[in-house]
Structure 1
Amino acid sequence: MEQRDRAKRLGCDSTGGITRAAVINDSPGNDNVIEDNVIKNNVIKDKVIKDKVWGEAHLDDFHRDMLFLLHDVARLLRVEADKRARQHGMTRAQWAILIWLERQPGISQKELSELLEVEPITVARLIDRLQARGMVERRPDPRDRRIWRLHLLSPARDVLHEIDGHRADMTRIVTNGIDEATLETMTEALLRMKATLTQDSHAKRGLDADTREEV
């Protein structure tokens, strides 16, 4: 034990060989190496900090991006509506159909599919389920027997009353902490955006139709 302690003090191993630590400590340029390592470590630390700060700022800009916010808020509302609809054994799409039929009674399946932006076959299946639950019925168009008009039945009224309650609750949650003036400004801005996009979409459809006629 005494021999090993003495060897360590001399920078040797137990057999008398010079240890790696002794060589490093005795190297003439050791101070320069240590200084270079310290500088490199500081440079790396500074870069990590700068990257972190830039990343946080960039992420904050992303979260404040208007298109991202519009999409994400709509997504969160859809998720919440899906959850609430499932509690009643229904789907958000079925809720949407009932709401549209309340607003526009007697519309056709084709018109409804355009409003919901889904394929007519998808709407037909959803109507089948609602009809099986006694909420909706198909009536033939008196002027064109090939067209089915959709109408609500009494059981749908109770469901619509529940939907109104959920919509009011979701509106209360999503607007919590926002004053009336801001809500009014937001609503006007959204109406303006919708009108602009709708007008642009109709203009493109007309242009496409003209192009097909020329071909």
Structure 2
Amino acid sequence: MDATVAPAGLTGDEFAVYSILAASEATTPSTLSRWMAAPPTTVSSYVKRFASRGHVQKDPDPEDRRSYRITLTPAGRAVHKTAQELFRTVDDALSIALGDAAADSLRSALLTFRPILDDLRQAEQTPGVDER
């Protein structure tokens, strides 16, 4: 994956995070942390790196003044689009190797599995911990 998206200037992990950010207009660090299944310190590290590239913007969260919202900048969206086009070759190869029906079944299973993981993570969280 790293080699596939490297020409866009991203690692495979970064492409995944950019994809999460591209799927919404604005994301809070706690939401990004849940989607990434990563601790807040990891999210902070990614956001700082992306901001230094000019690929994300941080704006105050109107619902929680202690937090902020993360959005991809036009430059970040352009990099994501390039990486997406590069990744499409891998996705197409996977569909060919698995067959469209198997690839669709895999995607469906992953979407079913996702809420279960979210519930497990939520149950593990300690009450009173700041999730910003």
Question: TM-score per shorter chain, which class?
Answer: 0.7 to 0.9
Counterpart residue number, 1:143 = 63
The residue identity in structure 1 corresponding to 2:55 is: M
In the alignment, the residues of structure 2 paired with residue 158 and residue 204 of structure 1 have an alpha-carbon distance, to the nearest angstrom, of 32
The residue identity in structure 2 corresponding to 1:191 is: S
**Structure 1 residue 84: Cα displacement:** 2.5
RMSD (Å), alpha carbons = 2.8
Of all paired residues, the percent bearing the same amino acid is 19
Query: Where in structure 2 are the equivalents of 1:64-83 lying within 5 Å?
Result: 81-83=1-3
Counterpart residue number, 1:114 = 34
**Structure 1 residue 85: Cα displacement:** 3.3
Structure with more helix by fraction? 1
Structure 1 residues 134 and 191: alpha-carbon distance in aligned structure 2, compared to 1, 3 A threshold: same
Instruction: Give TM-score, length-normalised by structure 1.
Output: 0.50
Paired residues, number: 126
Unmatched runs of 5 consecutive residues or more in structure 2:
128-132
Q: Give the number of the structure whose alpha-carbon radius of gyration is greater.
A: 1
Structure 1 residues 185 and 205: alpha-carbon distance in aligned structure 2, compared to 1, 3 A threshold: same
Instruction: Give TM-score, length-normalised by structure 2.
Output: 0.76
Counterpart residue number, 1:202 = 119
Counterpart residue number, 1:169 = 89
Unmatched runs of 5 consecutive residues or more in structure 1:
1-80
Query: Where in structure 2 are the equivalents of 1:13-92 lying within 5 Å?
Result: 81-92=1-12
Q: Deviations over 1:89-137 (max 9, x none)?
A: 3322221121111112211111101101111111111110110111101
The residue identity in structure 2 corresponding to 1:132 is: S
Structure 1 residues 197 and 105: alpha-carbon distance in aligned structure 2, compared to 1, 3 A threshold: closer
Counterpart residue number, 1:48 = none
The residue identity in structure 2 corresponding to 1:164 is: Q
Structure with more strand by fraction? 2
**Structure 1 residue 167: Cα displacement:** 2.1
Q: Deviations over 1:167-186 (max 9, x none)?
A: 211112223355xxx42244
Counterpart residue number, 1:96 = 16
In the alignment, the residues of structure 1 paired with residue 110 and residue 121 of structure 2 have an alpha-carbon distance, to the nearest angstrom, of 17
Given that 2:54 and 2:75 are in contact with CA atoms closer than 8 Å, whether structure 1 keeps it comes out as yes
**Structure 1 residue 205: Cα displacement:** 5.8
**Structure 1 residue 196: Cα displacement:** 5.3
**Structure 1 residue 164: Cα displacement:** 1.8
Higher relative contact order (CA 8 A, sep 6+): 2
